[in-house]
Amino acid sequence: EDKVVQSPLSLVVHEGDTVTLNCSYEVTNFRSLLWYKQEKKAPTFLFMLTSSGIEKKSGRLSSILDKKELFSILNITATQTGDSAVYLCAWEPSGTYKYIFGTGTRLKVLA
């Protein structure tokens, strides 16, 4: 069974810290990996990664995929209280239209 594991489950940091969130998977073939941020209700899209070793960046957030080692990381530098959220990763397996989500990492940034 395809499985996505995120770590840590939760994290508390202070403003200005840098955090690294991990997503590992046991999916044999896939099309893409996606990262979402969920603050209160609807998850909002952050990144989609399809190629190994290529970093995607958006402001203080960046993400990279390692297809060989089967993991992805999401980095947030100079964290702010507005970064407090649950961060979800999801895999899109090949040959299917569905997304398999991890359990998420709950990040709390203290002022």
Residues contributing to the site for other proteins (CB under 8 A): 31-32, 34, 36, 41-45, 48, 88, 90, 92, 97-104
Nearer to other proteins, 83 or 87 (CB): 87
CB of 100 to other proteins, least distance (A): 8
Going by C-alpha positions, the residue among 28, 38, 35, 23 that lies closest to residue 2 is 28
CB of 102 to other proteins, least distance (A): 6
Nearer to other proteins, 71 or 99 (CB): 99
Going by C-alpha positions, the residue among 61, 78, 74 that lies closest to residue 14 is 78
Q: How many CA atoms lie within 13 A of 62 on its CB side?
A: 9
CB of 101 to other proteins, least distance (A): 4
Nearer to other proteins, 17 or 38 (CB): 38
On whether the CB atoms of residues 27 and 2 are closer than 8 A, the answer is yes
Q: Is the dihedral of CA 55, 42, 20, 69 positive or negative?
A: negative
